[in-house]
Amino acid sequence: MAPFLLTGLRGEFEKIAPDAKGRVGVAAMVLESGESVEFNGSERFPMHSVYKLPIAMVVLRLVDREALKLDQTVKIEESDFVSDGMYSPIRDKYPNGVQLTVAELLRYAVSESDGSASAGECHSAETMYCSSFPSGMA
């Protein structure tokens, strides 16, 4: 595999960032070589829904290792819901809480971008990875 060079990529970020009409930050790394590039890499940005996919990946890894089952149920309580005003079909459909399977939580989190589902995935995975996220993050 030929090396992927990131040379010039920062300049491309600088050219297209103004079109976003907002604050832009990007970071990329070639894992094989460790080569990296960033644009506004020292700034902090809210994660928004970006965190949902890595949580789902951790859950699926645990399913692969047979530590979790897709048909295993997880109790979602009112305290697990994202804040009012944030998008959450689970909270809206089950305002008093509900038990959902891991498979259902994955679908809500990834397909419907439901932050309450990600909280439920964390309960089912019980990983340090998830416990590092602030409460109500979506």
Measured torsion, CA atoms of residues 43, 26, 111, 96, in degrees rounded to the nearest 10: 0
What's the domain count of the chain?
A: 2
pTM: 0.64
Is the pLDDT reported for residue 122 higher than 50? yes
pLDDT at 112: 92
Confidence of residue 49 (pLDDT cuts 50, 70, 90): confident
Q: Is residue 97 part of a domain?
A: yes
Q: Is residue 138 part of a domain?
A: no
* Residue carrying the six token digits 């459909």: 93
Range of the domain at 24: 1-45
Q: Is residue 65 part of a domain?
A: yes
Catalytic residue set: 49
How far is 56 from 58, CA to CA, in rounded Å? 5
Q: Are residues 5 and 60 in the same domain?
A: no
- pLDDT greater at residue 128 or residue 131: 131
